[in-house]
């Protein structure tokens, strides 16, 4: 039995992944951005061990999530599922002065990875949209460009792959992978999304707990339990290092 933490598990793919893990006999800790959503998450997934609370767009609250988790002990796997989508039509700025989509989708997984006691496996959710973006990390915070919500979202999904691959290089004793869950009909994906919702959560669960040799790998990108080629730029060590450096500078938190 594995012990797994899932960010953004109050609804959508995170909730489905938690339910699937529990059906398989694993232990799960949930996450929600506020107390009401945590209560609702536990009601929807009553066999979960507990839920931690914190808004991942806020650096201080993300630190608090890591502290809550460390008090609970160690985890076998962490699934970085939480994200905001591509519908922010203007640059929404967080309390820390960052674009909301970057703070939630890129910086929070970096902070949690840096601060949570190191698990055996790390899973980062990305998107097929990561292949068609600015890969230089220039203007990471969109202070110079005219805001484009869909492009900003897709850039964070490229950064998710970069982070997974960077960790795979830094921590060879950890299985660190990224995946595309498909375009599924969640609140983010919308009702017109054509992919199967349940199939969308299977790969993250498989990567988090399976003993299948195909899942016990690191530095790979998956879609529906099959390896896919990511953007070639995600394999560039210099770009991976640049993302870690930028996140360290922005957050003030060093990843060992």
Catalytic residues, by residue number, are 153, 157
Report which secondary-structure segment, H or E, holds 164.
helix 149-170
Asked if residue 31 lies in contact with residue 82, where contact means CB atoms within 8 angstroms, the answer is: yes
When computed from its CA atoms, the radius of gyration of the chain, rounded to whole angstroms, is 17
- The rounded Cα 99 to chain-centroid distance in angstroms is 17
- The rounded Cα 170 to chain-centroid distance in angstroms is 18
Three-state DSSP class for residue 211: coil
* Residue 91, token pair as written in the block: 């640059």
Q: Whole-angstrom Cα distance, residue 16 to residue 198?
A: 7
Q: How far is CA 12 from CA 41, 48, 129, 190, in A?
A: 11, 16, 19, 11
Residue 187 per-residue DSSP state: T
* Residue 75, token pair as written in the block: 């985890």
- Tokens 């890129």 correspond to 106
How many helices (DSSP H) and strands (DSSP E) are in the chain?
8, 8
């Amino acid at each position: 039995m594995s012990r797994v933490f899932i960010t953004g598990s109050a609804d959508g793919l995170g909730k489905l992944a938690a339910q699937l893990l529990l059906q398989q006999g694993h232990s799960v800790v949930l996450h929600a951005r506020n107390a009401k959503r945590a209560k609702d998450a536990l009601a929807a997934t009553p066999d979960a061990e507990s839920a931690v609370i914190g808004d991942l767009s806020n650096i201080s609250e993300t630190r608090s999530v890591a502290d809550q988790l460390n008090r609970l002990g160690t985890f076998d796997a962490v699934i970085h599922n939480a994200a905001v989508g591509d519908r922010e039509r203007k640059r929404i700025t967080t309390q820390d002065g960052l674009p909301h989509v970057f703070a939630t989708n890129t910086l929070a997984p970096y902070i949690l990875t840096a601060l949570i006691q190191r698990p055996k496996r790390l899973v980062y959710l990305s998107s097929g949209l990561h292949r068609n973006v600015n890969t230089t990390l220039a203007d990471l915070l969109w202070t110079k460009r005219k805001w484009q919500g869909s492009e900003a979202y897709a850039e964070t999904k490229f950064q998710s792959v970069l982070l997974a691959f960077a960790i795979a290089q830094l921590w060879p004793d950890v299985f660190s992978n990224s995946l595309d869950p498909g375009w599924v009909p969640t609140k983010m994906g919308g009702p017109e999304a054509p992919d199967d919702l349940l199939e969308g959560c299977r790969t993250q669960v498989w990567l988090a707990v399976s003993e299948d040799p195909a899942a016990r790998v690191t530095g790979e990108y998956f879609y529906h339990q099959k390896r896919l080629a990511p953007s070639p730029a995600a394999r560039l060590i210099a770009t991976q290092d640049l993302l870690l450096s930028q996140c360290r500078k922005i957050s003030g938190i060093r990843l060992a």
